[in-house]
Structure 1
Amino acid sequence: MLNREKSAPKGSEIVGLLDIGTSKVVCIIAALEPSPVPGEPRVTRLLGLGHLRSRGLKSGVIIDLAEAEATVRAAIAQAERMARVTLEEVLVSVSCGRLQSSNFSASVDVPGGVIRTDDIDRLMAGGHAFAERDGRTLIHLNRIGYRIDGVAGASDPRGLAASKLAADLHTVAADEAPVRNLMLVVERCYLNVRALIATPYASALSATTEEERALGVTCIDIGGGTATVASFADGHFIHAATVPLGGHHITLDIAQSLQTPLAEAERIKTLYGSLVVAQSDEFETFSFPLAGDEDGALGQATKAELAGIIRPRVSNILGLVRERLEKAGVLDFAGERVVLTGGASALVGFGEFAANALGRPARVATPQPIAGMPQGSASPAFSTVAGLLAVAASGSGEVPVRRSREALGGGYLERVGEWLKAGFA
């Protein structure tokens, strides 16, 4: 996977993780140590971190190949210098391509009368082909449960007598062109894509607990250009969705309303942004430079006025999320709890505001800590890349991959990874 210039503990594996988002590009190089308990996730340790502001992306989609490549290349170089290793392949998060979730059943006859591994392989291959029937690219496939001659409940059907084997499957697929462009950027940085991981799935793994996923939970990650949604029921990943709005749109609203530069609007949002309005906010003011004013004139606004700008946009984002969930019909299965993460969730009062907007209890979550991670990076904005590490560390630490369809190109692009770990339920 890499050329290393320093030794790692015996039995460890070094992995590269890449989150190419609208607001930032993050590259992490981490060591996976053997788990002290067989079958449990491996122990992780940060070796290198690269973090830069994104360029060349809009709402998660690459719109300028050269700018995106330069940013990604610089973030990778930062991480490699810190870790003193040279990466050859990475796990990459995917939020582009209008991610779409599907739940369906696939079935096969069992010609030998006893279920074998090749029967399961044929079943999964059939589900894979069905997911890509409309020319979309499969990003994620997981099995929700088996049915043997119509009877559900088997966790491993191999060796059981049956005439028909069926499985309830969940897939996440994306438009091919945006995914191809994402992979092209990685290829131009001289890296292979070891696996493509759906961003909502990765964020949810880092922000929610195993118990929450077992009881039913929906995780909403509000990033810079998109809000992604992942729902779980009985520990199974059952739904994913994206909304093409995020924290950057809040910044734009502030810039337009206050007539201030974007960089200043982002600073105002970070320092004074709140979804809770106290009586004192009517009198607390802050100053800011006006856009295009060469004389250095300053504008002034109250914290209450700022909240009045932010609240409608956040309400709009959460309203679209709720609409997606209601249309998918997963609210009755995914339990009552909502977990919020992503950079925009750091706004003061976000949890309470979201709970009122969605009509469900909600909490704001930071990703599970990574040993060696700088304290400033342990924030909701880093949930996706932390989730990529959780994927890599799960079970044996291996992420299954397969070669993509030829339509995705040759060379490095042939090695598009897809999350086909059917055993992760």
Structure 2
Amino acid sequence: MDTERYIVAVEIGSSKITGAIGTRSLKGVVTVLGVDTEPLTGSVKRGFVVNPDEVSSKVKRLIRKLNNRIGASKKIKQVYVGIGGQSLHAEDHMISRDYPEGTPITEDIIKRLQEEAREMPIAGADILEVVRTGVLVDDKPKSGREEIEGSNLKMSLKLIVARDDLKKSVFRCFSGEPSVVRYIPTTLSTAYVALSNEDRQAGVMLVDFGAETTTVSIYKDGLLRYLSTIPLGGYNITCDIMTLKVTEPEAESFKVRLGSAKVMGEESNITLRGESSSEIKSLDLSKVVKARIEEIVANVNAHFEYAKCDRKSLGAGMVIVGGASKLSNLAELIAEKCDIRVRKGALRQDMLLDVASQSKSADYLQILGLLYCGKENCVEVLPKVVDEPEDEPHEEVKPLSPKEKRAQEKAQEKAEQERRKREAADAKREEKERKKREKEEKVKGPGLFGKLKEMVKKAENLLDDENDNF
């Protein structure tokens, strides 16, 4: 019997749909079973689905791929879906409540008020998530989950909102099965796996360079302080390269293979050849790539002022993630233009991945973030189907006599007793083998199995201590 829950997550981006499936232990440790993708072209614009039929077809194909990873005896029945786009941003909101003197202000009361805020109407927008940024009880800060008595509660929140038809456009891609458990703002789930508690406490700007948008979020003192989206991304660079009279696939290839955000040394003007024999000059490529990426970086830099944030107060600097963050020398350009320490995002060390996925974890931070934020089981076990032989006549079943019934019951009881004896013998044998292994490990040291157990235990303890919105 499975002791773990299966979590399934899907992220619909502008250039591809990504899906992942994994198991979540009772202690919250996630093991990734697989990540799959389906390409998209023109069906999603800055997070909004403009061609739901094509996206729905790709989603179904992706779900089949993920289902094949867990076998025919199980079926994906629901998924977590990442959501984002140009309209995604954060708005400040304050809740104030009065209670009788000496009322215990519990975590349940606070969570209930958060859920009420999620249902608050905002003209032309949907509230996708409610993030707590501060709690005062009788004007005294409340930290952690301890219960405090008081008569007045004030709670400051960040409402993560987007245009009201954004979620509807994504919902149209999930008709029938699987259903959607929850829509999660991808920028929040990515921060969960890319930023450590120490990063969020010291202060950090997370910049997610996507295909058509770039999302900026700032954390300080462990809490989300700012979130906004820039309507520019890596695809804008591809389009600029296409003006050099090359096709879109060739332009994307030139960008990925030869594009650079910054000139490193003296640059020569050589002829570059594409996969379809097209030719462009290296200086022309350099000019269009640098012009666009410098524009995007300038927009990122402006958000320090919009957020009223002193970059020197961000002790952890800036972390960059997303497909477009792979552009050569981008970190160096940002460090120079924004006057801040920059590093590329990677999976937090306390997150446990299977060995096969570990090497590519930096490429899949967004989908892994959604996977880690999932809590509910997304897979059902199908009942076993007994195939009956075809084209054979069915014999008429005659009712059993009382004597035959008693004989049948005795036979079943005997079979059950034999089964229990076998199970007891198997358990005794396994216990004996386990003691033998433990004895050998004491002599030889922990070995690979022991080290893995220690690593899992460490991850479980760190995840138990974590306090965030997910």
The TM-score, its normalising length taken from structure 2, stands at 0.73
State yes or no: 1:310 paired with 2:289: yes
Residue 185 of structure 1 aligns to a residue whose secondary structure is: coil
- 2:181 and 2:124 mapped to 1: Cα distance? 22
- 2:179 and 2:299 mapped to 1: Cα distance? 35
Against the structure 1 CA distance between its residues 313 and 171, is the aligned structure 2 distance closer, same or farther, given a 3 Å change threshold?
same
Q: How does 1:209-228 map to 2 (within 5 A)?
A: 209-228=196-215
Report which of the two has the higher share of helix: 2
Point out 4+ residue stretches in structure 1 off by more than 6 angstroms. none
Q: How does 1:15-414 map to 2 (within 5 A)?
A: 15-35=7-27, 42-55=28-41, 56-84=43-71, 85-96=74-85, 98-111=87-100, 113-117=102-106, 119-121=109-111, 123-130=113-120, 132-156=121-145, 158=147, 160-186=148-174, 188=175, 190-256=177-243, 258-279=244-265, 281-288=267-274, 298-302=278-282, 304-331=283-310, 335=315, 337-368=317-348, 370-374=353-357, 377-380=360-363, 382-392=364-374, 397=375
* Counterpart in the other structure of 2:419: none
How far residue 121 of structure 1 moved from its aligned partner, in angstroms, is 5.0
- 2:248 and 2:338 mapped to 1: Cα distance? 29
Unaligned runs of 5+ in 2: 378-465
Q: Is the 8 A contact 2:9 2:19 kept in 1?
A: yes
**RMSD between superposed Cα atoms in Å:** 2.6
Partner letter of residue 70 of structure 1? S
- 1:357 and 1:284 mapped to 2: Cα distance? 28
Matched pairs, number: 373
The TM-score, its normalising length taken from structure 1, stands at 0.80
- 2:265 and 2:112 mapped to 1: Cα distance? 64
- 1:209 and 1:336 mapped to 2: Cα distance? 10
**Identity of paired residues, percent?**
24
Unaligned runs of 5+ in 1: 1-6, 36-41, 290-295, 400-421
Please say which structure displays the higher CA radius of gyration: 2
- 2:334 and 2:176 mapped to 1: Cα distance? 39
Partner letter of residue 68 of structure 2? R
Against the structure 1 CA distance between its residues 140 and 122, is the aligned structure 2 distance closer, same or farther, given a 3 Å change threshold?
closer
How far residue 18 of structure 1 moved from its aligned partner, in angstroms, is 0.7
Residue 10 of structure 2 aligns to a residue whose secondary structure is: strand
Q: Is the 8 A contact 1:97 1:177 kept in 2?
A: no
How far residue 17 of structure 1 moved from its aligned partner, in angstroms, is 0.6
Partner letter of residue 232 of structure 2? L
- 2:344 and 2:86 mapped to 1: Cα distance? 27
- 2:109 and 2:257 mapped to 1: Cα distance? 57
- 1:86 and 1:331 mapped to 2: Cα distance? 50
- 1:180 and 1:133 mapped to 2: Cα distance? 16
| Partner deviation per Cα, 1:58-107 (whole Å, 9 max, x = no partner) | 12211111111112222222111123242111111111361120223211
- 2:336 and 2:168 mapped to 1: Cα distance? 39
Against the structure 1 CA distance between its residues 161 and 300, is the aligned structure 2 distance closer, same or farther, given a 3 Å change threshold?
closer
Against the structure 1 CA distance between its residues 123 and 244, is the aligned structure 2 distance closer, same or farther, given a 3 Å change threshold?
same
